[in-house]
Structure 1
Amino acid sequence: MQLLETIQIKDGKFQHIAYHNQRFNASRKALFHVDTAVKLEDIIQIPADYLTGTVRCRVLYEENIQEITFAPYIFKDIRHLQVVDVPTIDYSHKYANRQVFTDLLQQYPDADEVIIVQNGLITDCTIACLAFYDGTEWFVPATPLLKGTRRQQLLDKGLVKERIIKTTDLSTFQKVCLINTFRDLDLSVAVNL
């Protein structure tokens, strides 16, 4: 069961690496019973070609790191979201096999992304956690599929609040922002609801 950690590198510097280290080590401990903590920044060597700009670093691992790859990051503009009920997805760890998300997106070709609902509760989309804006405050669902690193960072900074968000609550929000290691809380790229 291969896992994945996707890390943003900006101009040769790891972004929010402490959050990635925490998830990496917690997943190794939970799934593979590995107690030895690792600092990814001590292991990952950034190639010279990737020392400028925004870079996507992918770390594939099980008990140990199996592969590290680098690629320029390309921002995907998302404007149309489809709310879908998917009761069976379990993504409590960041698994490398994301076929379930690929298959889900293919079912909704007119949507740029889908908002995944389980038991009437908002969770995530396929590439990011979600933050909802009511005109005053930002809220993240208390029921995410994956507790993402950016989500946790925003909670720790007090920039978002966690709450149960039902599908029936969506009309109380003005915008939704997709948040992940590359996508910060930003009204300029938030999607109108």
Structure 2
Amino acid sequence: MSQFIESIKVEDRKIFMLDLHQKRVNETFSHFGHENPVDLALIFKNLDHQEEGLYKFKVTYGLDGKFRTQMIPYAISEKADFELVENNSYDYSFKFEDRKEIERMKQLSRAGEIIIVKNNHITDSSYSNIVFKKGKDWFTPKSYLLNGVQRQHLLQTKKIKEAEITLQTLQDYSHFQLINAMNNLDDLLIYPLSKIRNLPKKAASEEF
């Protein structure tokens, strides 16, 4: 039976974007025709987490309603470089625990992180949605693999916009950054497009 995960930000005992995480859990159960018994707020409350600092609250659950939890100290890490990896058949529309195909793609890469390209369109990195900078604005690909909670939140609050981003239009952007439940827009972790090792030649030639 498939297992699913939610990775939720907890900082100084405060839990973030719980409504969006719960919505995704509800939609997962509904899609597979099951009633949802997994109440994230209740699970967190029962943990009685009292530690200060930044943690990843990981809930792994199945459609039978059984779950397990981990509270993992978290530190944001910088990536040395990135590589575009093409995979036209990969589907990650639900947050499955099984990430074997993603790990296979990473192992075949020569870079610290991958950016998955599907049918010529930019999607996500191995663990995050991506936003690209054009002028003063940030854009996220319409062609995501997983509609992450941070992505949804930033769109709802109008801090980012959606755009069709392809291999040919990467040249329109100057920088990018990774966003997920643990990582908001962060001025300290913005990467120039040149951090992508195998940029299409036209985009690479216009870097500065």
Deviation at 1:17, TM superposition (A): 0.8
Q: Any idea what the Cα deviations from partners look like across 1:90-139, whole Å, max 9, x if unmatched?
A: 10000001111111111113x12111111110110101000000122111
Match of 2:105 in 1: 104
Residues 164, 66 of structure 1: alpha-carbon distance in 2 compared, 3 angstrom cutoff: same
What SS class does the counterpart of residue 6 from structure 1 fall into?
strand
Deviation at 1:57, TM superposition (A): 1.1
In the alignment, is residue 168 of structure 1 matched against residue 172 of structure 2?
A: no
Q: Aligned equivalents of 1:39 and 1:155: distance in 2? A: 25
Match of 1:118 in 2: 118
Q: Normalization by structure 2: what TM-score?
A: 0.86
Aligned length: 190
Match of 1:180 in 2: 180
Q: Any idea what the Cα deviations from partners look like across 1:165-188, whole Å, max 9, x if unmatched?
A: 111111111111100011111232
Residues 167, 159 of structure 1: alpha-carbon distance in 2 compared, 3 angstrom cutoff: same
Displacement over 4 Å in runs of 4+: none
Counterpart contact for 2:85–2:105, Cα < 8 Å = no
Match of 2:153 in 1: 153
Match of 2:54 in 1: 54
Deviation at 1:15, TM superposition (A): 0.9
Match of 2:133, as an amino acid? Y
Q: Aligned equivalents of 2:84 and 2:135: distance in 1? A: 21
- Gaps of at least 5 residues in structure 2 are 194-208
Q: Normalization by structure 1: what TM-score?
A: 0.93
Match of 2:81, as an amino acid? H
Counterpart contact for 2:22–2:39, Cα < 8 Å = yes
Q: Aligned equivalents of 2:37 and 2:132: distance in 1? A: 34
Match of 2:22 in 1: 21
Residues 138, 24 of structure 1: alpha-carbon distance in 2 compared, 3 angstrom cutoff: same
Q: Aligned equivalents of 1:47 and 1:102: distance in 2? A: 33
Q: Aligned equivalents of 1:171 and 1:188: distance in 2? A: 22
What SS class does the counterpart of residue 47 from structure 2 fall into?
coil
Counterpart contact for 1:28–1:62, Cα < 8 Å = no
- Gaps of at least 5 residues in structure 1 are none
Deviation at 1:89, TM superposition (A): 1.0
In the alignment, is residue 90 of structure 1 matched against residue 111 of structure 2?
A: no
Match of 2:144 in 1: 144
Match of 2:77 in 1: 76
Deviation at 1:62, TM superposition (A): 1.6
